[in-house]
Amino acid sequence: MSVNPDYLKEEREQEWRVVLRSQKKNKERTDLVRVHMTEVDPKIRVQSNIEVNQGLSEDDAVNEAQRCLDCPNPTCITGCPVEINIPKFIKNIERREFLEAAKVLKQTSTLPAVCGRVCPQEKQCEAQCFYTLKLKKEPVAIGYLERFAADYEQKSGKMAVPEVAPAKGIKIAIIGSGPAGLTFAGEMCKRGYDVWVFEALHEIGGVLKYGIPEFRLPNSIVDVEIDILKKMGVHFETNFVVGKTATIDDLKDEGFKGFFVGSGAGLPRFMNIPGENYIGILSSNEYLTRINLMDAANPNTDTPIISGKNVAVIGGGNTAMDSVRTAKRLGAERAMIIYRRSIEEMPARVEEIKHAQEEGIEFINLANPLEYYADEKGRVKQMKVQRMELGEPDSSGRRRPVPVEGSEYLIDVDTVVVSVGVSPNPLIPSSLPDLKMTRWQTIEVDDDKLQSSIPYIFAGGDIVRGGATVILAMGDGRKAAASMDNYIQNISK
Amino acid sequence: MNLNTTYLGIPVKSPIIVGSCGLTSTAESIIELANNGAGAIVLKSIFEEEIILDFEKNVLPKVGPMDNDLEFFDYYDYQIKDEVLHKYQSLIADVKKSVDIPVIASINCISNGEWVSYAKKLEEAGADGLELNIFKLPFDIKKSSEEIEHSYIAIIERIIEKISIPLAVKISPYFTNLGEFVKRLSLSGVAGIVLFNRYYSIDFDINNEEVISGGVFSGDKDYEMPLRWISIMNQKSNCELIASTGVHTSDNVIKMLLAGAGSVQVVSALYKEGSSYLKKMNSGIKEWMSSKGYETIDSFKGNMSQTTADKPEIYERVQFMRYFSDHKH
Amino acid sequence: MNKIVKKEFFSENVVRLVIEAPRIAKARKAGHFVIIKCGETGERIPLTIAAADKDKGTIDLVIQRVGVTSRKITELEEGDYITDLVGPLGQATHVEKVGTVLACGGGVGVAPLLPIVEAMKMAGNRVVTILAARSKDLIILEDQMRQFSDELIIMTDDGSYGQKGLVTDGMESVIKNEKVDLSVVIGPAVMMKYASMVTKKYDIPTMASLNTIMVDGTGMCGACRVTVGGKVKFVCVDGPEFDAHQVDFDEMLLRLSGYKDIEKEAENKYISNKCKSR
């Protein structure tokens, strides 16, 4: 699937865009300096869950939009998994048609306010921006602008409910209400299907709710997007584990014609080193779920949380950053990242690492835990860490960490959050013995169609990719919707 | 008459131990080896290096464009280790159910990281002993010989702390002062030292000017190196010495026992001749013993070691002078 | 939201709730559990299903008051609604005809044992059941158990009912009298630990149903992890039943104590707030 160049050209030649382009010389545009996102002061923000990035003002957004050259060949779009018409929405911001800009986003992205906050734009659209590629300058802040337009629409109270095609009367089931499932739901609903989303937890949103913390993505932002889906006619069933509460076969008997599995990455991985089951050592999933989904840090809720004074988070991904910054907010005196490679190799978004550093997170890089020690009550009190050095680059070009002999030392800890990745959720596959799986226990799908070995089952997001970003999951949801639509039209011919 | 001896302190009925190799990787072939009279078997090793390679060759390329899947694969090597370990644990459990000879687990490691803790898991799975093959390549020109030797001792000490089954360490001959190092190793708490392991060797194809694999199997004369060192180190080390490399015939086994080895590891000969060759080797030893009037292995073990020899200096000759004067064709 | 259609006190602190949950009632098998959450600010806790009525579309849960959450649940009345209920979760009990099954339940562990005893009996096994508790008033589900057991033995610590002694004493006497082919033990972790030590001594295959801390119940959080045969398992997706002889009960006991202090504090606060508001 790729954007039709003729369509882009046609759009670009619309009068208002031609006029807009002529209002400023390219030199004037490129001379402008990239906008700075207002952030809450680190000392203040670590005391609460306030969102770190405060968004752009209207004027800031318009100024930034002026930097965009409205290129004839907008390479930025190739960097976007859901192929947002980036120049079109940015130029709408430039001419202060903010709601129009949001509409452009909504054409291809179900959750623009989410993407504007959590996408690794520096690796995607912004990496493909003309400024980055040719001018070697800071790219247009596409992510900030996306967020601006989406927030503007949310705040305006004039949320556009996407148009929905006449009802086809065909029931479609979606398993999991995370970014892949929600996107798929939106896309299928637009096409006129009768869409049902089944969620195992008691809240809709998947990783957007239980995983990503409030200070990075407020739940209210997600809820607004979910409300739109509800208004479009998507049905949501919480507390429903497909494969357990009812199997796919049961649902087929109840009339569902197609299934989309977006059940995400479920099982947390551990390192299987001695002492890892002591009290106080938990997965990032458990830690973040207790805090984000169960609101455990709030004294008025029943879910308990133990978050200590010396918190070590193992790993270098976004989840690790979310966990360690959460620990800081829960009052840790020492909140540490322990990562076996160097900071350059970390999978986390650059912005998250930067924010973490500002907040006083200690980065203990080139270090790997070997063993945990507990007090007499079985509560973790120390960890033995081995220093690493970087050896030769491996096939991904990253340098392999090699242990340094005799470099072990102890760190005092009372909480350890293990954030070394997750394995795909086994609930669906285990209830479908015929479903083909990969070596990583992800569902095997056709790369283009996202169709599994069982033709009426499509899948996307982490259950297919293992562990990807929100935006890739959304891209999958979009792609799968198009191909399931095709599939259903073909079989009903 | 019997062939009773011990392997890492465990009583065995034959001094012939099947070394870690493809033949010791499945329960079926191990049962066959046991039925043919192996004294004990060393399971095919878990290779740390293999896991690293698998991770780098098969896993990391899966990291999607823009590093999107990096978080998933960043620590995936742990998952691979876990799977390998789990398979190995089931192999140990299966084999232990089917045979009554000692089953020795084997780890080939190149670092002293979390591998050490795996030793404990192999013990829990039922292994009778553990063989450690430390692949500190002597080619590392950044490390001094002292550092390399120290890392051996450090790994061994950490493992012994974790397990209660006997530990054997298999080493190469590439140490500056091999005798002193073997003695030091023998004091580190190991139950046995296996002399020596064979490194993968390379060769050149001069027509295509390519590097190719050298011989996979040991040669018929390769036993001479362990023979000399076992003879020298017998009674100078605090643990069992086990001969390995080039032990192809019952005569070789007898030589090793005479030198002072408690047992021998055999691999190449079994690949070439099949498992039933074990029977032949055992009976070869018995024939020789009866021709010499020995009832037990203990009665002749070490009889030809350096300490018991009339001319101990011969074991230490490094030049060929005497060879030319004494050796009779 | 699931409606409570019946509430019954087994004892002062043990309550049986019959809850409307048609899908769960239909899908559940012996050994399955549910996750229940009470109120918007409630905690998610696992409870094993004690019985179900497919036709009426209800399931039975037996709850013992031990903390804030279980208090809140037991304070609900007939006609009230459970905020969130999800299931059936976990792996169902492996049921087959093996010969004689010795089923041992301690405390409220008797509730999850009931469907297993029923299934074992239906599969054609001879079932000998031991119910154990501190005293007479804590023995529950005796009549239901008797219905599916060829023999029922009651053990109380204080001798106020049945025989005086621990569950292990009862087990020893059964095992000495007849050949037992399989044992099932469910109860507090300590009880399961010692009960499985008895069967290990006699080499009797034994399964235990573990009741660990859980958050989501679908494999996501890892709070429920236990070591079984040297390998880490998740009770929610791999269990809740495991080979009792392979379970590291000491580690499990330790992990169960993880939140004890906080929970006790929370419970005291809850009780005192309630008293104030009266």
Q: B63 pLDDT exceeds 70?
A: no
Residues A458, A445 contacting (CB under 8 angstroms):
yes
Mutate which of C213, C215, C259 to disrupt the A interface (most A C-beta within 10 Å)? C215
pLDDT tens digits along A119-140: 888 888 999 999 999 999 999 9
User: Nearest CA to CA, how far is B146 from chain A (Å)?
Assistant: 13
CA A247 to chain centre: 28
Residues C246, B93 contacting (CB under 8 angstroms):
no
Q: What is the pLDDT of residue B328?
A: 47
Q: A68 pLDDT exceeds 90?
A: yes
Binning pLDDT at 50, 70 and 90, where does residue A394 land?
low
Is any Cβ of chain A less than 8 angstroms from the Cβ of B154? yes
* CA–CA dist B170, B226 (Å, integer): 12
User: Nearest CA to CA, how far is C185 from chain A (Å)?
Assistant: 24
Q: Which residues have C-beta within 8 Å of that of residue B146, sequence separation ≥ 6?
A: none
Binning pLDDT at 50, 70 and 90, where does residue B202 land?
confident
Q: Which residues have C-beta within 8 Å of that of residue A440, sequence separation ≥ 6?
A: A423, A424, A466, B62, B72, B76
User: Which chain C residue has its CA at the smallest distance from A272's CA?
Assistant: C232
Structure tokens, A86: 């980036």
Is any Cβ of chain A less than 8 angstroms from the Cβ of B144? no
Average of per-residue pLDDT across A110-126: 89
Q: What is the pLDDT of residue A414?
A: 94
Is any Cβ of chain C less than 8 angstroms from the Cβ of B125? yes
Binning pLDDT at 50, 70 and 90, where does residue B295 land?
very high
Cis-peptide, bond into residue C240, ω within 30° of zero: yes
Q: What is the pLDDT of residue B281?
A: 95
Share of chain B above pLDDT 90, in %: 46
Closest CB to A302 among C43, C221, C251: C43
Q: What is the pLDDT of residue C13?
A: 84
Give the 3-state secondary structure of chain B: CCCCEEECCEEECCCEEECCCHHHCCHHHHHHHHHCCCCEEECCCEEHHHHHHHHHHHHHHHCCHHHCCHHHHCCHHHHHHHHHHHHHHHHHHHHHHHCCCCEEEEEEECCCCCHHHHHHHHHHCCCCEEEEEECCCCCCCCCCHHHHHHHHHHHHHHHHHHCCCCEEEEECCCCCCHHHHHHHHHCCCCCEEEECCCCCCEEEECCCCEEEECCCCCCCCCCHHHHHHHHHHCCCCCCEEEEECCCCCHHHHHHHHHHCCCEEEECHHHHHHCCCHHHHHHHHHHHHHHHHCCCCCCCCCCCCCHHHCCCHHHHHCCCCHHHHHHCCC
Neighbours of B319 (CB within 10 A): 7
Residues C183, C204 contacting (CB under 8 angstroms):
yes
Mutate which of B46, B55, B62, B72 to disrupt the A interface (most A C-beta within 10 Å)? B72
Is any Cβ of chain A less than 8 angstroms from the Cβ of B80? no
Which residues of chain A make contact with B109, given a CB cutoff of 8 A?
none
Is any Cβ of chain B less than 8 angstroms from the Cβ of A255? no
Residues A421, A404 contacting (CB under 8 angstroms):
no
Which residues of chain B make contact with C230, given a CB cutoff of 8 A?
89, 121, 124-125
Range list for CATH 2.40.30.10 in chain C: 2-89
CATH superfamily assigned to domain A268-421: FAD/NAD(P)-binding domain (3.50.50.60)
Is A270–C222 a contact, with Cβ atoms under 8 angstroms apart? yes
Q: Which of B76, B276, B108, B78 is nearest to B194 (CA)?
A: B108
Domains of chain A by residue range: 15-37+52-156, 171-266+424-492, 268-421
Is C231–B125 a contact, with Cβ atoms under 8 angstroms apart? no
* CA–CA dist B270, B278 (Å, integer): 8
Binning pLDDT at 50, 70 and 90, where does residue A419 land?
very high
Closest CB to C227 among A246, A277, A379: A277
CATH number, domain A15-37+52-156: 1.10.1060.10
* CA–CA dist B260, B249 (Å, integer): 17
Closest CB to A396 among B63, B66, B72: B63
User: Which chain B residue has its CA at the smallest distance from A463's CA?
Assistant: B72
Range list for CATH 3.40.50.80 in chain C: 100-257
Is B113–A370 a contact, with Cβ atoms under 8 angstroms apart? yes
Which residues of chain C make contact with A300, given a CB cutoff of 8 A?
41
* CA–CA dist A142, A151 (Å, integer): 14
Is A465–B75 a contact, with Cβ atoms under 8 angstroms apart? no
User: Which chain C residue has its CA at the smallest distance from B89's CA?
Assistant: C230
Q: What is the pLDDT of residue B329?
A: 46
Is any Cβ of chain B less than 8 angstroms from the Cβ of C231? yes
Domain C100-257, CATH number (from 3.40.50.720, 3.30.413.10, 3.90.1300.10, 3.40.50.80): 3.40.50.80
Q: What is the pLDDT of residue B68?
A: 58
* CA–CA dist A251, A428 (Å, integer): 13
Q: A366 pLDDT exceeds 50?
A: yes
Q: B217 pLDDT exceeds 80?
A: no
Q: Which chains touch C (3 or more CB pairs under 8 A)?
A: A, B
Residues C139, C154 contacting (CB under 8 angstroms):
yes
Is B117–A370 a contact, with Cβ atoms under 8 angstroms apart? yes
Is any Cβ of chain C less than 8 angstroms from the Cβ of A200? yes
Q: Which chains touch B (3 or more CB pairs under 8 A)?
A: A, C
Q: Which of A286, A283, A267, A269 is nearest to A429 (CA)?
A: A267
Q: B189 pLDDT exceeds 70?
A: yes
Is any Cβ of chain B less than 8 angstroms from the Cβ of C248? no
Is C88–A304 a contact, with Cβ atoms under 8 angstroms apart? no
Is any Cβ of chain B less than 8 angstroms from the Cβ of A406? yes
User: Nearest CA to CA, how far is B74 from chain C (Å)?
Assistant: 19
Q: What is the pLDDT of residue A325?
A: 96
Is any Cβ of chain B less than 8 angstroms from the Cβ of A162? no
- Please tell me the total number of residues recorded for chain A in this structure: 493
Q: Which residue has the higher pLDDT, C33 or B324?
A: C33
Same fold, A171-266+424-492 and A268-421: yes
Residues B282, B16 contacting (CB under 8 angstroms):
yes
User: Nearest CA to CA, how far is A136 from chain B (Å)?
Assistant: 19
Average of per-residue pLDDT across B34-55: 85
CATH number, domain C2-89: 2.40.30.10
Is any Cβ of chain A less than 8 angstroms from the Cβ of C221? yes
Angle ∠(A154,A160,A165) on CA atoms, nearest 5:
145
Domains in chain B with CATH codes: 5-326 (3.20.20.70)
B76-98 and B27-35 helices, crossing angle to 10°: 30
pLDDT tens digits along B120-162: 888 988 999 999 987 765 566 777 888 888 888 888 888 898 8
CATH superfamily assigned to domain A171-266+424-492: FAD/NAD(P)-binding domain (3.50.50.60)
User: Which chain A residue has its CA at the smallest distance from C85's CA?
Assistant: A239
Is C215–A294 a contact, with Cβ atoms under 8 angstroms apart? yes
Q: B81 pLDDT exceeds 90?
A: no
Mutate which of C225, C227, C231 to disrupt the B interface (most B C-beta within 10 Å)? C231
pLDDT tens digits along C232-261: 899 999 989 999 999 999 999 988 887 777
User: Which chain C residue has its CA at the smallest distance from A282's CA?
Assistant: C223
Interface of C with A in 95-154 (CB under 8 A): none
Is any Cβ of chain A less than 8 angstroms from the Cβ of C213? no
Binning pLDDT at 50, 70 and 90, where does residue A316 land?
very high
Is any Cβ of chain B less than 8 angstroms from the Cβ of C79? no
Rg (CA), chain B: 21
B195, β-bridge pairs? B171, B243
Which residues of chain B make contact with C231, given a CB cutoff of 8 A?
86, 89
What residues of chain C score a pLDDT lower than 70? 274-278
